[in-house]
Chain A
């Protein structure tokens, strides 16, 4: 069981991710709708893992990831991308993301990525 911070600007996706993670036995300890809120919540909540959307207003997922890794080089992040954002996914993996899922994703794929990242 992992303590997870869910970061996505879409309330719908936060609900989808929270429902899936909870059903998989994980605890969603917080949600954030943008990069700055995510960085603040990370330092406050110290989660085991972050699910991070790529396309967000102001500070996108990649910029957020880079700052997050500066704060905590051991941060475990799973990227949530849309089809067609493969270049961003590669950049995110180079920047330290542990894994990625492509939306729309199957619940098992998400849970598999989370479990692999926290193993």
Chain B
């Protein structure tokens, strides 16, 4: 039995599936000469194999998480697709110089496909890490050539309680991403999404923007809405920003002064779980603590407060 409730489990799996699939698709876009066609992202029912329907031989590249979370990703492609992706990787660096005309990829081509997968899943792990609020590291890719993908993959990769499948067409060939997800991963993902309540709402919007349907059970939407209202969110004020290069950051000495993009009398922004929500002025309370007097909330200023904003919230100090 899953330790998380079914609604939040489905939501966590869809969020994980969508973010990983998009990271993989973007990486493939950068490799393949033609744009990658995005297909469906689906949570695979427990009784089904996530490899079902990928008939014939296939090249698989599996990448496990080694730090932060357990679980893994398997990318399946036709042997022809693997050769085309390898050739596209090679084209970016002047060609692979492979004279082999056979159907099966050569060792160097499999290595090129593995490197492509390494780049895809490093980006995907980074996206997952943002949701979980911690670093997620990946293991080196493991590449296999399977004679009968649907049955051989079921034996080659350990089944997990949950799986998400995403389909693509890359270099004109079918491609499938299977995410094998243990219960512990779902629990952590659900908890992280719970802590990021408003981001979950924007995440659902991003799923819609990606054309990914959230297949809700009847009544689920209402329960989620109720649950989201009770979620505590992180609120912080931001004084200003600047950019330094990754190379410069570790070189900064203690005592260095970084100029920010705000003037001393500019308003300060208020963020709710990463979304800019309001702005105001920094004030000092009678207790000697910093506070923020809100001047604008969600695009509405103090002067337009009568237009729907609770007037007792306007000018609130938090």
**B140 A55 Cβ-Cβ under 8 A:** yes
Known: A11-B107, A93-B250. A104 touches B30 (CB 8 A): yes
| Chain A residues with a Cβ closer than 8 Å to the other chain, count | 29
Q: Which of B89-97, B182-190, B231-239 contacts A (4 or more CB under 8 A)?
A: B89-97
Contact of B118 among A11, A16, A82 (CB under 8 A): A82
Write the residues of chain A forming the contact surface with B, with a CB cutoff of 8 angstroms.
Answer: 9-13, 15-16, 19-20, 55-57, 81-90, 93-94, 99-100, 103-104, 107
B93 touches A82 (CB 8 A): no
Task: Give min CB distance, B88 to chain A, whole Å.
Answer: 11
- Find B119's partner among A15, A82, A93 (CB 8 Å cutoff): A82
CB distance from B73 to the nearest CB of A (A): 14
Contacts of B140 in A (CB 8 A): 9, 55-57
Give the A-binding residues of B (Cβ under 8 A).
27, 30-31, 86, 89-90, 92-94, 96, 107-108, 111-112, 114-115, 118-119, 122-127, 135, 137-140, 246-247, 249-250
Q: What are 7 A-B pairs at a CB distance below 8 A?
A: A10-B112, A84-B123, A84-B125, A90-B250, A99-B247, A103-B119, A107-B93
A10 x B126 contact (CB < 8 A): no
Q: Once the chains are docked, how many angstroms separate the CA of A81 from the CA of B123?
A: 11
Q: Closest residue to A104 on the B side, CB-wise?
A: B92
Contact B126 A55 (CB under 8 A): no
Q: Is there an interface contact between A104 and B119, defined as CB atoms closer than 8 Å?
A: yes
Complexed CA–CA distance, A50 and B118 (Å): 21
Q: Which of chain B's residues have a CB closer than 8 A to the CB of A83?
A: 27, 119, 122-123, 126
